[in-house]
Structure 1
Amino acid sequence: MEFSKEPSEEEKNNWHNDSNNWVWGMFYYNPKDKRMFPPKKIKELGWTINFANSNSVFLCVVLILVLMIISESVK
């Protein structure tokens, strides 16, 4: 049995620069990339969500729900 190894920085950069991994040029979707929050297309602007990673999508939905509950309780 072979264990999956951590991809190299070069491979991560290749994924990041591949336009096929960017839906509409702004949503990162790469099932090979296991990172939840890869860098944005312009790396200096922070991180984005890898929409191919179910954990990051789940975390984002939970965060949105919590913010909605908090905003309703403030009213």
Structure 2
Amino acid sequence: MIPQKPTQQDYNNWHNDPNNWHLGMFYYNKEDKRMFVPKKLKWAGFTINFGNSKAILITIAFLFFMYTLTQLK
């Protein structure tokens, strides 16, 4: 059985569920496969879905890259 793609209503429900937001700004939802999701304040851009392992790997790689750049001085 092929899993169905989430509907816009699913995305809206996940986004509005306070259990998916930690400290009001960290989004964590393993059901939501998106790497980046809109922030609670729509005008504020996007945030990382910490429930997505690819998003966490990209974030760690980015932080490591930034750390390496600061050490090159």
Verify same fold: TM over 0.5. yes
Q: Name the Cα RMSD after superposition.
A: 0.9
- The equivalences for 1:1-75 within 5 A come to 2-73=1-72, 75=73
TM-score (norm 2): 0.93
SS at 1:38's partner residue? Answer: strand
Letter in 2 for 1:48: T
Q: Deviations over 1:4-61 (max 9, x none)?
A: 2221111101100010100111100111100000111112211101111111011000
Paired-residue identity, %: 45
Unaligned 5+ residue runs, structure 2? Answer: none
TM-score (norm 1): 0.91
Deviant stretches of 4+, over 2 Å: none
Count of aligned positions: 73
Letter in 2 for 1:62: A
